[in-house]
Amino acid sequence: MQAPVIEIRDLVTRFGSHVVHDGLSLEVRRGEVLALVGGSGSGKTTLLREMILLTRPERGSLRLFGQEATGLDEARARALRRRFGVLFQHGALFSGLTVLENVAWPLVEHTRLPAAVREEMAALRLRMVGLDPEAARLRPSALSGGMIKRAALARALVMDPELLFLDEPTSGLDPASADAFDSLLLDLRRWLGLTVVMITHDLDSLWRVADRVAVLAEGRIVAVAPLCELLHHEHPAVRAYFEGPRARRRIGEC
Amino acid sequence: MTEQGPAPGLERGQDRIRFVGAWTLAGAEACLPELEALSSRPGRRLVFDLSGITALDTTGAWLIVRTERRLRAQGARLAREGVPERYRTLFHELEQRAPGSLRPPPPVRDGLLAALGRPIVKGFDELFAFLAFTGEAFVQLARLLPRPQRIRWRALFADMEQAGARALGIVGLLSFLMGVVIAYQAAVQLRLYGADLYVADLVGLSMVRELGPLLAAIIVAGRTGSAYAAQIGTMKVNEEIDALRTLGVSPLDVLVVPKMLSLAVSLPLLAVFGIVAGVCGGMVMTGLLLDLSAGVFLDRVADAVSLRSFLLGVGKAPVFALIIALIGCFQGFRVEGSAASVGRHTTLAVVQSIFLVIVADAQFSVFFSWLGI
Ligand SMILES: Nc1ncnc2c1ncn2[C@@H]1O[C@H](COP(=O)(O)OP(=O)(O)O)[C@@H](O)[C@H]1O
Ligand SMILES: [Mg+2]
């Protein structure tokens, strides 16, 4: 069995007196799609920010690709960051650059490929995420929410990362785009052996792409299991999350 | 950046090219020249043998596909063999998604005439837009004044604190120093004529009539005009302005009118404070340089500065205030989309408001001299 890609032990996070994570542990296996669910404000984004080395937890250990990742110096953190891609909740495209420049930006920073090749790579990612070539020259302010999501995904993919973090990737997408997004994710995983950690509220995504679902509640991961098992889980927070008729409908398909 | 493996490479045979190693982004720079060096003559049969590939990502696959395309365009009869099973769909996908060239059409560039004309047209556009904005702001102000309960007093007082009270320190300090500087220059010159006493007249009048209000206005333009532009600009980028509009609230009511009123009150007060500080600065400097007691100095200032001079000097401040508030807010509303645009318009707000304040000051001088006051 391979070492987990991400290994979190006894993580504690606090903002002032507000305890967000209280002894949280989680493992993400190589090649899996792990979905992170939980109520609003339960600390999903904060956990993601800790995994991508933006926020430092107060206590606990975080290992990425088998290396200890808390308290890294900037150079080591940068080397680690090159190995993963991040899709932020609101896209976080650079507003001063065109879409194509946004996507090509990591290549400009981290490689010495010629400009023409860089542009091709960026354009290829835009095609892969299903964005019109006409949109490539637009600035982010001229894009719709769904287009921003796709462009941001293209940017997260351009370095061919081993690990991809997605914060609510399908929220704000129309159903067809959300389905296409799920398919893309599955394809990418098959081709590249990609490991994915995604925060999502989209039951269809959970159903289709997530290998395991982790439920965050009370500052801990209260359950990690394939969706079908979670639907029968007895923890009250898990039950509350999957109580609604939308989730119940899925039970039949298990 | 997927699995690290042996470096990518090509084993070139007669009509067979074998790809070996990890064809990933990490090795792309190294193998690109070798790929670009491949060429073919028309009709040549070539086989790309991919069975030696240990790792492949989209970057590597794309490099192979684009090379194949280039060679085919040169007329090669090319076949691909030995593709590991799990990469089949990746190649298929690339060929599906990226038929033909991937380069997006280049942006359209202006011709000489357009390059010349566009800024001019833009300049006029901006001028008219500013006039329209000013008109709108005053109409809104006139609508609100009879119904003072609808003025956003909370925003107004908060702004007075931010723009006025918190600027006291910097305005006071700079005006004090300005008083010192003027007193020094005046003392050096006037001493030659034995007209020591007139240093007080000079410091008092120049601070009251010109420097007090002007200095305060310039500091406020840099401090507060820029803040207005940045605040409104950021709100515009976040669609907060649109949200206000759809909630049936005029952004002018909420954002612009309180700022106009608050600056129109704060700036004259700052100017008065600056004048006092400047006179103090002059007094201290004269005390050090010349044999002039503070009492005598202040008496001279009181004689020299009539109520009329004071009113004419400080009376300019509300006009400066309106210029600064209007330009700051206007530039904020001109922001389009990006963070860079916020920066650009903030700069413009400061430059334009300082420029217009000085122009207005010069016009006041011309106007007053024409009236003979
Ligand atoms: N920078 C911050 N300062 C203070 N509190 C924060 C900060 N970021 C997040 N929080 C708080 O932490 C909790 C978790 O937030 P978040 O991780 O964004 O939740 P979500 O699960 O909805 O993504 C919330 O209660 C939020 O108010
Ligand atoms: Mg969140």
pLDDT in tens, B200-231: 999 999 999 999 999 999 999 999 999 999 99
Q: Whose CA is nearest to atom 8 of ligand 1?
A: A46
Task: Determine the average pLDDT of the residues in B177-204.
Answer: 91
Q: In the prediction, which pLDDT does B104 show?
A: 62
Higher-confidence residue: B97 or B351? Answer: B351
Whether residue B103 lies within 8 A of chain A, CB to CB, comes out as yes
Does B98 contact A127 at a Cβ distance shorter than 8 Å? yes
Whether residue B89 lies within 8 A of chain A, CB to CB, comes out as yes
Task: Determine the average pLDDT of the residues in B283-292.
Answer: 88
Give the torsion sign (CA, B361, B364, B365, B366): positive
pLDDT over 50 at B2, yes or no: no
User: What's the alpha-carbon Rg for chain A, to the nearest Å?
Assistant: 18
- Secondary structure of B193-260 as H, E, C letters: CCCCCHHHHHHHHHHHHHHHHHHHHHHHHHHHHHHHHHHHHHHHHCCHHHHHHHCCCCHHHHHHHHHH
Task: Determine the average pLDDT of the residues in B99-127.
Answer: 81
- Distances in Å between the Cα of B281 and the Cα atoms of B70, B178, B182, B266 are 78, 7, 9, 22
User: pLDDT band at B284, cuts 50/70/90?
Assistant: very high
Q: In the prediction, which pLDDT does B353 show?
A: 96
Residue A15 Cβ inside 6 Å of ligand 1? The answer reads: yes
Chain A residues close to B93, C-beta within 8 Å: 128, 187, 191
User: Nearest-CA distance from B236 to chain A in Å?
Assistant: 11
Residue A42 Cβ inside 6 Å of ligand 1? The answer reads: yes
What spacing in Å lies between the alpha carbon of A168 and ligand 2's midpoint?
A: 8
- Distances in Å between the Cα of A215 and the Cα atoms of A10, A200, A238 are 16, 11, 7
Average of per-residue pLDDT values in chain A: 85
Express as a percent the part of chain B with pLDDT over 70: 96
What spacing in Å lies between the alpha carbon of A39 and ligand 1's midpoint?
A: 12
ipTM of the predicted structure? 0.78
B245-271 burial, b for 16+ CB within 10 Å, e for fewer? Answer: eeeeeebbbebbbbbbbbbbbbbbbbb
Express as a percent the part of chain B with pLDDT over 90: 51
For residue range A88-119, what is the model confidence (pLDDT) as tens digits? 888 888 888 889 989 988 888 888 888 888 88
Does B86 contact A162 at a Cβ distance shorter than 8 Å? no
Chain A residues close to B107, C-beta within 8 Å: 137
User: pLDDT band at B270, cuts 50/70/90?
Assistant: very high
CB A107 within 8 A of CB A147: no
Q: In the prediction, which pLDDT does B3 show?
A: 47
The answer to whether the predicted template modeling score (pTM) of the entire model surpasses 0.90 is no
Chain B residues close to A142, C-beta within 8 Å: 337
Chain B residues close to A131, C-beta within 8 Å: none
What spacing in Å lies between the alpha carbon of A14 and ligand 2's midpoint?
A: 16
A14 beta partners: A19
Q: In the prediction, which pLDDT does B99 show?
A: 61
Mutate-to-test residue for ligand 1 from A12, A14, A20, highest number of ligand atoms within 8 A of CB:
A20
| Beta-carbon contacts below 8 Å between A and B | 95
CB A160 within 8 A of CB B2: yes
